[in-house]
Amino acid sequence: MKRFFFKKASLLILCIAVLLPLADLNVNAASSKPKNIILMIGDGMGPNQVAMARASKGSALHMEGMPYKGTSSTSNYFGEVTDSAAGGTALACGIKTKNGAVGITHDSEIVPNLRELFEDKGKKTGLISTVSITDATPAAFGSHVENRSNQSAIAEQFINDHNIDLIMGGGGKNFSADLRNTATQTKGYTLITSKTQMLSTNKTKLLGLFADGNFPYYHDGYTAEIPTLEEMTNKGIETLKSSNTGFFLMVEGGAIDLAGHEGNKNRNIGETLEFDKAVKAALDFAAQDGNTLVVVTADHETGGLKYKETTEEYYFTSGNHTGADVPVFAYGVGASNFKGAMINTDINYKIKKLYDLIPTTTSTKNTTTKSVPKSTSTTKKAPTSTISNSSVSSTSKTDNISGESTENISTSSILGSSSNEVTSTQTSSAATTSNPKPKDNGIMIVIVIIAGVLVLGGGGFVVYKFVLKK
C-alpha cells in the first residue's frame, strides 16, 4: 500500500514538474481588469508603414512582438475616409462622428471619452503627443468641440473643464498667458518647457509645452531641449504611477501622419521607429508591473503607402488619408480581447468592457462642462449620404512642421491590397522572444490542481498502470 501511494505521489510531482513551466505562457483572461492602461496611437500608421520601418531597422519592431494582433477599419459616421478628429473620437469616445468634430456625435451631442471615464474612477490620466497637444487626436481625449481647428478652445477645456494630470507635447501657442497662469496658480500644474525641466522635476501634475506648434521631425535632427516621445512616455509613466491608484495614458506619434502627407519615406520611417521606441518603453513597464494593458493602433492610414519588402520598392499613392485598415497590437492584462478584425469603435468598447463602463445609451448630454464651442472658422460639412466605394472623402494637412494642423477635404480612390500587408496572423520570432510574457498564471495553476486531484483519485491509478508500472 505504501508503495502504491508513493508511486501516485511521484506521478503528482511529475505532473507538476511538466505543467508548471507552461504556466508562464501568455494567458490573459478576457475578464481580467488591468490597473493601468496605455493606449498608443501612431497617427497615419498603416500596415505598410510598419513593414517599411521593419525593413529599415533590419528586425521586427517592438510592437510586432506583442502577442495579440488584429486590424481595425477606420471610416467615419458617413462611411467616408476619416480625418484625425473623427478617428480620434472613435477611439476616445466609442462613437462614429463627422470629420472635424472632436468628442461629439455627428449631431453635436457630447460623449464622455475614455480619459474622463477613468478620471471619474479615481485614476490618474495623461496625454502625450509629438504634434500640438491640442491637435485632433489628443483633443478627442480631453475636449468636446464642433471644429478641431478651434485649438484655443481645446486648450481652455484641457485646463478649465477637466483634471488631466499630465499634458505634454507641442502647441504651446494655443495656451495663452492667462491660461498658463490659471494652470499654475489655480489648477496646480507645474509648467515645463524643456527636456531638462521634464527630466528633473518630481512634481505629479505637469503641463509640458515643448514647442509652439508641432515637434520637428526626428529624422531632420532634434533640438536638444525637445524630449523624444520615448522620454516623454517614460516620464509620463513615472509620474502617473506614483499615486498607486492606476492610470490611463494616451501616447500619440503624431508626425507619422505628417510624413505620409508629404510622401517622405525617410521621415515616415524615422517617425515610425521613434514611435516604436515609445512602445518599447510602455512594454518594459507593463512587463515589470504585471498589471497593465498596452494597446497600439492608429486612427487611420496616411499616404496610401505601397511597399514590397523583398525588393524595398515603395510608393505613396495619395497625399491624403486612405480607407486602408490599420494594425492593432495588444499586450498585458486583458490583451486577448484585441485580436482579429474590428472597427475603430470596438477598441474603445473593449477597454470599457474590461471596467464595466458600457453606457446604457449611445451618447449623453454633458451637464458639467460648457456647451460645445462653435468655431469662427469654417469647415466643409459632412455629406448627408454614404459615399460610394469608388470615391471617398479624404484629408491632407496644410501645415506640417510648426503651425496648427488643419485639414482640407479632397477625394481619392480606395486603394487595393498591398503586396506586403501586416495582418493579424503575421508574427515574428525575433520580436516575440524580445518581449517578456505577461504575468498571468491562473489558468495553468488550475490545470495543475485538477491534474493533482486526478492523480490522487482514480485517474492516477490508470496513469500509474499504463505508464509507471510499464
pLDDT for 468: 38
Mention every residue, 6+ apart, whose C-beta is less than 8 A from residue 161: 143, 368, 369, 370
Name the amino acid, one letter, at 66: M
Nearest to 101 by CA among 466, 443, 379, 425: 379
- Domains of the chain, by residue range, sit at 2-24+442-468, 36-434
pLDDT at 372: 57
Distance CA 442, CA 447 (A): 9
What are 326's three cell numbers?
490599420
pLDDT of residue 359: 62
At 450 the pLDDT is 54
DSSP 444-461: HHHHHHHHHHHHHSHHHH
Q: How many CB atoms lie within 10 A of CB 29?
A: 13
Bridge pairing between strands 301-302 and 407-412: unpaired
* Partners of residue 38 on adjacent β-strands: 249, 294
Q: Check 32, 72, 75, 84 and give the catalytic one.
A: 84
The reported pLDDT for the residue numbered 464 is 41
Q: Which residues contact 378 (CB under 8 A, 6 or more apart)?
A: none
Q: How far is CA 368 from CA 155, 298, 359, 365, in A?
A: 17, 30, 17, 9
pLDDT score recorded for residue 451: 53
**419: annotated active-site residue:** no
In the chain the first and final C-alpha atoms are separated, in Å, by 18
Cell numbers 509507471 correspond to what residue?
Answer: 468
Residues 395, 83: contact at Cβ < 8 Å? yes
Mark 105-127 as b/e (b = at least 16 C-beta within 10 Å): bbeebbbbbbbbbbbeeebbbbb
Whole-number Å distance between alpha carbons of 175 and 159: 9
DSSP 372: P
Instruction: Output the CATH code of domain 36-434.
Output: 3.40.720.10
Q: Label residue 11 exposed, middle or buried (CB < 10 Å: 0-12, 13-18, 19+).
A: buried
pLDDT 10s digit of each residue in the chain, 470 long?
Answer: 545 444 554 544 444 444 444 343 343 444 489 999 999 999 999 999 999 999 999 999 999 999 999 999 999 999 999 999 999 999 999 999 999 999 999 999 999 999 999 999 999 999 999 999 999 999 999 999 999 999 999 999 999 999 999 999 999 999 999 999 999 999 999 999 999 999 999 999 999 999 999 999 998 987 889 999 999 999 999 999 998 899 999 999 999 999 999 999 999 999 999 999 999 999 999 999 999 999 999 999 999 999 998 888 999 999 999 999 999 999 999 999 999 999 999 999 999 999 888 765 443 333 333 445 443 333 333 333 333 332 333 333 433 323 334 343 333 322 233 333 333 333 333 333 344 444 444 445 545 455 554 444 544 443 344 333 44
DSSP state, residue 182 = I
